[in-house]
Amino acid sequence: MTERIVVGAALVDGGRLLAARRSAPVELAGRWELPGGKVEAGETPEAALVRELREELGVAVEPGERVPGQWPLKSPYVLQVWTARLLPGSAAPEPLQDHDALRWLAPAEIWDVAWLEQDVPAVRRTLAQLGL
Ligand SMILES: Nc1nc2c([nH]c(=O)n2[C@H]2C[C@H](O)[C@@H](COP(=O)(O)OP(=O)(O)OP(=O)(O)O)O2)c(=O)[nH]1
């Protein structure tokens, strides 16, 4: 089966990374992830990232660069990560959909949350990319 991309946002503000706790489905609920979602047919990953963060968190973001690599999720999905920043005038993120908590993590706090296992290598690579 052709792989399908899930985009995750490494949303950084003031040197802190946003982590989001999933509220569904049950097998993922309670674990932390990079907010984002599935890229739809005909959509670029960057456009999907902007759309998903608007829908899920109510924020306006600008995608930055891709974090090199991709990480397998439940087949046929793979996780790709882009850095992102809040646009001036954006609302602050709120857990509107799919999440029940958000945290801005300082570098020393990154491993304080229970990331989805499949996200751990992606988060590690993201931190290296961001120099955090
Ligand atoms: N957004 C996101 N999803 C992740 C991560 N890690 C991980 O395994 N996933 C999984 C959870 C979901 O099964 C899938 C993404 O689906 P989603 O539910 O966030 O995306 P979506 O809004 O487009 O989905 P849908 O409800 O419209 O089907 O990838 C991650 O870091 N970020």
Q: Give the HSE-up count for residue 54: Cα atoms under 13 Å, Cβ half-sphere.
A: 11
Amino acid at 98: D
CATH of the domain at 125: 3.90.79.10
Rounded to the nearest angstrom, the distance between the alpha carbon of 91 and the centre of ligand 1 is 22
- Ligand 1 in reach of 12 Cβ (< 6 A): no
Phi, psi (deg, nearest 5) at residue 75:
-55, 140
- Counting Cβ atoms within 10 Å, is residue 69 exposed (0-12), middle (13-18) or buried (19+)? middle
Q: Is the pLDDT of residue 132 over 90?
A: no
**pLDDT tens profile 74-100:** 999 999 999 999 999 999 999 999 999
- Ligand 1 in reach of 38 Cβ (< 6 A): yes
Q: How far apart are CA 25 and CA 12, in angstroms?
A: 26
- Average pLDDT of the residues in 20-45: 97
Positions of E strands within 14-128: 16-22, 32-33, 36-38, 61-72, 77-86, 99-105
Q: Is the pLDDT of residue 1 over 80?
A: no
Please state the domain count of the chain: 1
Confirm whether the ipTM is greater than 0.90: yes
Domain holding 119, by residue range, is: 4-130
